[in-house]
Amino acid sequence: MSKDDLAKEGFLDPIISTASCQLLSQGAEARVWSGEFLGRPVILKQRFKKKYRHPVLDKHLNHSRLKQEVRSLLKARKLGIPTPVLYDVELEASTIYMERIAGCSVKELLKKGMSPADRHSLGRKIGQLLATMHDGSLVHGDLTTSNMLVRSDSQDLVMIDFGLSSISGLAEDKAVDLYVLERAFNSAHATSVDMYDAVLEAYKQHSRQWCPTLNKLADVRMRGRKRVMVG
């Protein structure tokens, strides 16, 4: 995308030109670029303006969501959850600069095919990480297998995309978090559902609050599609 196009959409340019970067993905909320920042490989995540929204509301939402994402990234690191290292935040350009992880998403790994033993151990790793995260009152909000990366060198599991995250100690929010992951497994990896069992098994062992959360998870599953609609 050229500078002119960016200006037309009312963006401030990030300090490094996106012309030197490569567009990785374009979601409903943000564009993700891959580039270089002070000699390091980086990921740029830029939220874009929504033309349909009132400018005041749009700016407010963009800023508060950006700040929430940054806060959660930092909180996760404090809790010892591996996340990309945060390099810089440009509020005016709605851009976050993060470490580019050399690795593969869990989704891709599953697609390539994994042995049952590997699936089990990776599932346990995920469960343990989620337990630590939830015990620290951090709820991811968008747990899918594409938001978990495995570093190609150390094989460490890294959580990414905290764009929908929140801070919450409620069993309800944590249960919904797990339920989202469960649905992701059921729909995208029907043959790897055993891995999700390993996730829950490890979660139960490592979370101090596993009992209320997993009880709530049973409730959330029962709800299926939430309440009966009232006309």
Partner 1 sequence: MTQALCLGIEGSANKIGVGIVREDGEILANPRHTYITPPGQGFLPRETAVHHQEHVVSLVQQALKEAKVAPKNISCIAYTKGPGMGGPLVAGAIAARMLAQLWKVPIIAVNHCVGHIEMGRIVTGARDPVVLYVSGGNTQVIAYSEQRYRIFGETIDLAVGNCLDKFARVLNLSNDPSPGYNIEQLAKEGSQFIELPYVVKGMDVSFSGLLSFIEEKTKELLASKTATPADMCFSLQETIFAMLVEVTERAMAHCNTRDVLIVGGVGCNMRLQEMMQQMVEDRGGELYAIDERYCIDNGAMIAWPGLLAFKQGQFTPLEEATCTQRFRTDDVLVTWRD
Q: Does 229 bind partner 1 (CB under 8 A)?
A: yes
Give whichever of 105 and 198 is closer to partner 1, judged by the CB atom.
Answer: 105
- Does the annotation mark 153 as catalytic? no
Could you give the CA distance from residue 137 to residue 171 in angstroms, rounded to a whole number? 10
Interface with partner 1 (CB under 8 A), residue from 22, 52, 153, 191: 52
Interface with partner 1 (CB under 8 A), residue from 56, 117, 190, 222: 56
Q: Of the listed 142, 156, 173, 197, which one is catalytic? A: 142
Residue ranges with strand state E in 40-161: 40-47, 86-90, 95-99, 103-105, 138-139, 148-151, 157-159
Selected range binding partner 1 among 16-24, 47-55, 67-75, 129-137, rule: CB under 8 A: 47-55
Residue partners of 157: CB distance under 8 A and separation at least 6:
82, 122, 125, 126, 129, 148, 149, 150
Place of tokens 């570093």: 151
Amino acid at 56: V
User: Site map for partner 1, 135-164, x if CB under 8 A?
Assistant: ------x----------------------x
Burial of 80 (0-12, 13-18, 19+ CB in 10 A): exposed
Selected range binding partner 1 among 15-23, 120-128, 147-155, 221-229, rule: CB under 8 A: 221-229
Q: Does 3 bind partner 1 (CB under 8 A)?
A: no
- Residues with catalytic roles: 142
